[in-house]
């Protein structure tokens, strides 16, 4: 089980929901690679509205429903482990935004009996 407390690094990757990697959702490929790399965990959050470098607004509102909503993949782990993972994103993310933030982990506890 991964133990993580104190200073850490948060990796956030903003991509479009319809972005793919070899016919698979890009956000899913990022999560699976983070898992294989042994990172502490990853979450995918679907946005309800946003825009990026293209300046095109994507939204869930009924009158202008988008098929390419913003998605954020968030990973928090030890700074060295996050930085070692970054080269994989160079291969995967051709359009989007990748950011790093210093964070402090207060509590990180998994469920009992959960397997990696």
**Residues 48-90: pLDDT tens digits?**
877 777 666 666 655 555 567 889 999 999 999 999 999 999 9
The rounded distance, in Å, linking the Cα atoms of 51 and 9 is 25
Q: Helices 26-36 and 79-92: crossing angle, nearest 10°?
A: 140
Total-model pTM: 0.83
E strands in the chain: 6-16, 20-21, 24-25, 42-46, 49-50, 58-59, 70-77, 97-105
Reported as half-sphere exposure (CB side, CA atoms, 13 A), residue 54 has a value of 11
* Residue 75 tokens, joined: 């990973």
């Amino acid at each position: 089980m991964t133990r993580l407390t104190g200073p850490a690094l948060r990796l956030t990757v903003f991509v479009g929901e319809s972005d793919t990697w070899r016919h698979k959702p890009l956000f899913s490929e990022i999560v699976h690679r983070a898992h294989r790399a042994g990172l502490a965990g990853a979450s995918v959050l679907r946005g309800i509205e946003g825009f990026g470098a293209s300046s095109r607004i994507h939204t869930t509102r009924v009158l202008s429903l988008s098929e390419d909503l913003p998605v954020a993949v968030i990973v928090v782990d030890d700074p060295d482990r996050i930085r070692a993972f970054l080269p994989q994103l160079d291969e995967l993310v051709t359009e989007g935004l990748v950011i790093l933030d210093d964070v402090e982990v207060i509590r990180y506890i998994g469920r009992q009996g959960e397997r990696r």
